[in-house]
Every structure is written in structure tokens, then in C-alpha cells.
Amino acid sequence: MITGLIRMENKFYLSIVFFILSVSFALTAQSGTEGMGQRITSVNLESGRKENRDIELEYDSEDRLVRFRDVRKSRKSLDWELSYNTAMLPQDYRYTVVSPGRNYSALISMEYENSQLVKSWFNGELESYSYTDKGLPAGNSWDFQSGNAGKVEYTYREGILRHILMRKENSNEPSSITNLDFFYDESGRVMRMEETRFDLKDSLKNINTYSLNYDDSGNLTSLIFKGKTFRESFQFLYNSDGRLITIEHDDGESITIMSFHYGPGYGHDPVSPYFRNYAFLLESVPEEILFPFTLFFIITSY
């Protein structure tokens, strides 16, 4: 799964952070007045470099997200459709991207055991997942016909994620090893992540850092991603109810702003749980941010 998304958006390891913040929660939106919840109904994207876009989300009678798609007529369009199994778990994601010179569609399918994802297929390419004795994700592996192969392993201490190791091989580029270490504050919130990547062919070493900041209510307010030659930042803005309404991304060249609009209903997030095996357990990040941030990653990848 992760390899498929990395191929789509051509960023190697920053995508891991999106998955970390998208993790193992099945989002149920916050309750509002008279017991009614609020679910995301539409998203507006304003970009200094890409086309502005309007995304509409559709739900079925059981408040499950079944589709999100571009509704603005433009040169590029995105359409995701989702279906579920009898246990109410996401079963298939089918998406289509239409843009100048590129029409692309893919099917992602999943298989579960005891409600845990054990296999996924990206256009028929298999990725497998394993778990610890305590039910925590232990890792995943893939070996695609394209020559893309790899393995991810997770290390815990006292039940808290401390380290991720990713080994990646590709017939078209040098093999690499990436390490990601987690550092927490006294409240158990992730404050910093350090990434070290080794290119095994040329012995190149890259070190990047991720810094996370929170407000007094525990809401994530910023994520800063820095390397030797670059700096990217995400700013998160909330309304008076603590609901995320805006994500602002500055990549050093342009600023992208994504705004979220809510309506009545509860809405369960089937997208974030799909990414849970790639870095999860950021329990300090409020559930309300997980689904919007996942949408940000998916929509801006095209």
C-alpha cells in the first residue's frame, strides 16, 4: 500500500509522516448540539502552484464515507469510491485520476483476520502485515513484479512506538535503509522525530527532523519538516469547538491552504485505518485531525 502511494506522489519518506498522523483510529466526528455530530461534507483547496479544487464527500445511510470527488470542472479530477465488508471494515478503494496526458485508475483491496488488516493488494500487487503478541502492528513487507520490494519493522518500549526501520529495494534506483526515531514529552505526546536515510549504493546519508507543537488543549498546531536543503511546515487552525477547519502547507516555494466544511451526521473514517500499519500510536494527536490530514495528503498527491 505505502509503496503504491509513494509511486503516485513521488515523495519518499515524508509520506510516512502523513500515515503516522492518519493512524489507527476510526474517526467519529465530535458531537454537537442536540446529540448531532458533525462530519466533513466538502473540502476547498487553494494552491499557489496547483489548480484550486473543490472536493465533495458522500455518505451512505449508515454514515459511512462511500465517495469523495472533485466537483469543480478543471483540467484535473479525482474520484475515490469505497466499499465495505460485512464487518463494516473497508473492503475496496477504487480511484480514478484524470489530468492532461494522464488517465489513471487503481483498485486497492484488503483482507482481515480478527478485524486486523493482514493483506492488501494494490492493482493486484500483494503487501502483507504482521502483529505482535499484544496485537500491535509489527511490520509489513512487499515484493512487487515491478522490482519494488521492501520491509518495514516497528520497535516498541513499554508499549510505545520508538523506532521504525524501512528497507527498500528497487530495480530502478539504489537500495536504501531508513530509520525513524520518536521522542515524547512528559505527557506522552510526540514532540520530535528524527529520520536517517542511507543510500546503500553510494553510502549517502540524509538526516531530517520533524518537530510537532501543540496548544494548551492538546491540539496539534504545527508540524515542521526540515532537512539539509529544505524546510516544509504545516499549520493547523481550529474553531471554537476544537474542530480542525484549515491546514496550511508551506513548502518554501508556495503555500497551499485546505479548508474543511462540516454538516450534520457522524461519519466514520474508513481511510485513516487503512494507513495504520505505517506509523500509528500518536495518541496525543486528537482523533478529529486524523481524517482531515489524510484527505489533505490524498488530494494534494494528484
Residue range 175-194, pLDDT digits in tens: 888 888 989 888 878 889 89
Taking CA atoms, 244 is separated from 32, 35, 122, 185, 249, in Å, by: 14, 19, 31, 23, 14
> Domains in the chain, please, with CATH?
2-300 (2.40.160)
Taking CA atoms, 302 is separated from 6, 58, 79, 168, 236, in Å, by: 12, 20, 11, 24, 21
pLDDT, average across residues 158-169? 86
Each residue's pLDDT tens digit, 55-77: 999 988 888 888 989 887 677 78
- pTM of the full structure: 0.80
Question: Which pLDDT score, from 0 to 100, does residue 236 have?
Answer: 93
**Of the candidate ranges 15-19, 107-111, 214-218, the one whose mean pLDDT is the lowest:** 15-19
pLDDT, average across residues 90-106? 82
**Torsion of Cα atoms, 139 then 97 then 146 then 148, to 10°:** -30
Q: Give the N- to C-terminal CA distance of the chain in Å, as an integer.
A: 16
Question: Which pLDDT score, from 0 to 100, does residue 17 have?
Answer: 38
pLDDT, average across residues 65-90? 82
